[in-house]
A and B are shown apart, each in its own frame.
Chain A
Amino acid sequence: MQYKSQAVAKPYFVAAIALFVGQILFGLIMGYQYVAGDFLFPEIPFNVARMVHTNLLIVWLLFGFMGAAYYMIPEEAETELFSPKLALVMFWIFLVAGALTIVGYLTVPYAGLAKWTMNDVWPTMGREFLEQPLPTKLGIVVVALAFLFNISMTTLKGRKTSISLVLLAGLWGLAIFFLFSFFNSSNLAIDKYFWWWTVHLWVEGVWELILGALLAFVLIKVTGVDREVIEKWLYMIIAMTLITGIIGTGHHYYWIGAPEYWQWFGSVFSALEPIPFFMMTVFAFNMVNRRRREHPNKAATLWALGTGVMAFLGAGVWGFLHTLAPVNYYTHGTQITAAHGHIAFYGAYVMVVLTIISYAMPVMRGRAANSDKAQVLEMWSFWLMTVAIVFITLFLTAAGILQVWLQRMSDTPLDFMTTQGKIAIFYWLREITGFVFLLGLVLYIVSFFTGGDSKKAA
């Protein structure tokens, strides 16, 4: 570890993985509720499990991004973090606030939660992924601002690199677009229009900048390729991201009551959104091929390459499958959507956070890479989780195609619930595969505690 203050990343990474486990457990609960609807009713109804699952995902990824930034920025800026203490205080505030929110979801009926947290003063609750009570949302803003202040001040006083600037731009963008979650119009079409300014412009916008920066950082470290080469790739990738993704937001405006031209703009631009992901894949493989050194952390390299491939497959290919308006007309809000959502989030954001953790954790624990035994275990977890997600995607895609056919396209369409009964087999298969994924995650955690001879720097 080049700078002592990089160590603040460790608690962030630990919290991230712990919350990841929570996310998966609630995913498994829901997966079972899909086929046995009364499971855990009324203690944990489906909608509550869903809020916990999705909110935990976002929060643990945020912990991952913050940890990544606290690790990367001092090294890029070549100076200690502005205030490690602030970083640690914010860690605890974020963790406690997050935990209380989850507890709130689980123990308090949602309407009551809304009343007690003054939602009538400034309504922000009741929308997918943004279910957090007002105090939590305000807390997120405070934590984000403190975090941004910390890493911005660090960058200002040190060396500015493409990686740190892109990362900062992505993180500032993340914070700015989160502010749209405070806007809650009484006009449903307008409300939906701006909801996407947080959700789409996060995952198909500024989060891609974060993804690019993290990937570029790890690739520089493990391959030793010239910084200039990697930086040029990074700029091209984020340029394509913004060019395709900003107007690409229109692929969420097809059916919400927005003007018809969005069906054209959204289709044309979002069809091009796979391009930056394709570039990331080529980028990752190209850099590893041209590597100047044999870095002992093989696991991190595997995660980096895997991120490129899975992000392209999940976000790029599966996204493309249902992005054109004429197709989306039939697939909107079906299991096709769920299939894409799972593999896209896993491939792009889960994997890039696991990539940076894979690279940085050993360094923070005093070695260049973990022992062979630990790395092999980690790589097993990579394959188990990744292959599991691929199969989950295939099962949900099959479910979705059948659902679209039976419920929307056939000459004698069935109603929603009857259709759900007919695609249940895929839900069973998905649930079983979900346990394989959990096994992968368990092995991942075990790899952190696996001994053996650690690797020194090459």
Chain B
Amino acid sequence: MSTTELSSDARQQGTPPGDLAIWFFIYAELLAFGVFFLAYAFARAHHVELFNDSQRFLNRESGAINTVVLITSSYFVVRAVAAIRAGLARQCARWLGGAIGLGAVFLVIKLFEFHAKFSAGISLSTNTFYMFYLSLTIFHFMHVILGMVILAAVMVKALRGGYTAEQHTGVETGASYWHMVDLVWLILFPLVYVIR
């Protein structure tokens, strides 16, 4: 049985792309973020006016641009996976590079946002809203960094010819993690920046 048949067998069995271990990890991350999101929502319920007032000073434009940046970076990752599935390792690496680049854009925009807030004297202790805003976005920020590191490792291996059309679990594994980082932001942005 060739490995190509093996992968379509696996797909028929219905397991998600990439190493199963990363999916366990992804669920753990979603659990952690999920708990955090719910904590925000229920804390807000007890301080509605405070949250509404403080939320108005968030930079919604940065948040929206960052959403577009992450969604597009996820799309690039999709293109990378498509490329390696067709055996095009260099193309895969280029798409991954693009995704990492967009990740860097996200980080830079976020840093400007944080700088603006910190310069205005806002910190974790300012009020409950800002405590959540800063913790959630900084926590997410760190996951973007981790995701970029993972994608970079995959990209390097792809450039060195470490993946083929038949064997590229690593690419799918890294891709899945990156999509999770995107998915989390897709909840975070409306929750923290928009819902009032």
Contacts and interface: CB of A to CB of B under 8 A. Distances in A.
A244 B21 CA distance: 18
Interface residues of A, number: 18
A21 interface: no
Contact of A268 (B21, B24, B32): B32
Interface residue SS majority, chain A: helix
A258 to B, nearest CB: 10
Interface string A123-158: 000000000000000000000000000000000000
B24 A236 contact: yes
Interface in A256-277: 259-261, 264-265, 267-269, 271-272, 275
Contacts of B31: 272, 275
Interface in B1-29: 21, 24-25, 28
A327 interface: no
A268 B35 contact: yes
A338 interface: no
Interface in A158-189: none
Nearest to A233: B21
Contact of B32 (A239, A243, A260, A261): A243
A424 B28 CA distance: 42
Interface in B140-187: none
Contacts, number: 37
Given A271-B35, A272-B35, A240 B135 contact: no
Contact of B124 (A236, A261, A272): A261
Contacts of A269: 32
B112 to A, nearest CB: 23
Interface in B76-98: none
A240 B125 contact: no
Nearest to B39: A268
A236 B125 contact: no
B39 to A, nearest CB: 6
B111 interface: no
B64 interface: no
A272 B135 CA distance: 17
A268 B125 contact: no
Interface in B29-46: 31-32, 35-36, 39, 43
A264 B135 CA distance: 10
B125 A261 contact: yes
B28 A260 contact: no
A225 B21 CA distance: 18
A264 B32 contact: no
12 contacts: A236-B24, A236-B25, A243-B28, A243-B32, A244-B32, A261-B124, A261-B125, A264-B135, A267-B39, A268-B32, A268-B39, A272-B32
